[in-house]
Amino acid sequence: MSDISSAPVLAFGAHPDDIEFGCGGVLAVESRSGRSVHCVICSLGEAASNGTPEGRRAESVAATECLGASVEFVDLDGDAKLEIRSAHALKLAEIIRRVKPSTVLATTCFENQHPDHWRLGKIVRDAARIARYGGLKELSGEPHSISQLFYYAVTPEGEPNDVHPILIDVSSPDVVSAWTSAMGAHVSQGATRNYIDLQLNRARVWGARAGVEFAMALFSNDPMMFYSLAHAGKGARNF
């Protein structure tokens, strides 16, 4: 059995605030358990109604610091212009090879949401697959296979309705504080909507289903495999 508890977690977001709003609590849990967490932002939110690209970059840096994570920015097609291209998958696959994560997080592929979100989810899925192929001469770095690809939903509309989620308990006061601070770092986006309340309320609902105060949902790309039933955790419902 391979030990993935100390391997890095790699999270991709289409826009500067996606990761914090969609899975920030999960990343705070992971970083506080001693795992390295790295975030990759694939635009600067230049199409947004509020904020400037430079300001949103600074907000992302501050936000990821709150989570105990590092961050980098990659240039794909720009905000609201993302297209599914093999070149993008190759670029993200190189990041996967460099970071060598066991777990990768990306926005869901469910299409009833911002088009950049579901398209990025598909690009990351392709990138995770080709990162392990040794014969791609245009892809630098050593081949790397991840253990799991999980999707997160930035808003409720992005939650798949045909996949059972896995729930991560994010109820620790330290985690909630870090996650709330990370979301609050995206000051420009608060001008349109109270995203912090939205995300905390979503986490309260998921938590209520699981018997904890706050939980965040992730959706597995592949069937979950356990080495023993003892590692399967508990169900979200008490029968």
How many Å apart are CA 156 and CA 139, to the nearest integer?
Answer: 35
How many Å apart are CA 111 and CA 20, to the nearest integer?
Answer: 20
Closest to 76 measured CA to CA, from 151, 140, 142, 12: 12
Global confidence as pTM: 0.95
User: Given a cut of 80, is residue 189 above it in pLDDT?
Assistant: yes
User: Given a cut of 90, is residue 192 above it in pLDDT?
Assistant: no
The pLDDT score that the predictor gives to residue 49 is 87
Whether the CA torsion 138, 142, 148, 150 is positive or negative: it is negative
The amino acid at residue 73 is F
**CATH 3.40.640.10 correct for 9-221:** no
- Give the pLDDT confidence of 127-173 residue by residue, as tens digits: 999 999 999 988 999 999 999 999 999 999 999 988 899 999 999 99
Decide: 84 and 47 in contact? Cβ < 8 Å: no
- Give the pLDDT confidence of 39-96 residue by residue, as tens digits: 999 999 999 889 999 999 999 999 999 999 999 999 999 999 999 999 999 999 999 9
> What is the DSSP annotation of 53-121?
HHHHHHHHHHHHHHHT-EEEE--SS-TT-----HHHHHHHHHHHHHH--SEEEEE---SSS-HHHHHHH
Q: pLDDT grade, residue 239 (50/70/90)?
A: low
Give the helix/strand (H/E) hosting 186.
none
CA gyration radius, the chain: 17
What 3-state class would DSSP assign to 41? strand
For the chain, counts of helices (H) and of strands (E):
6, 7
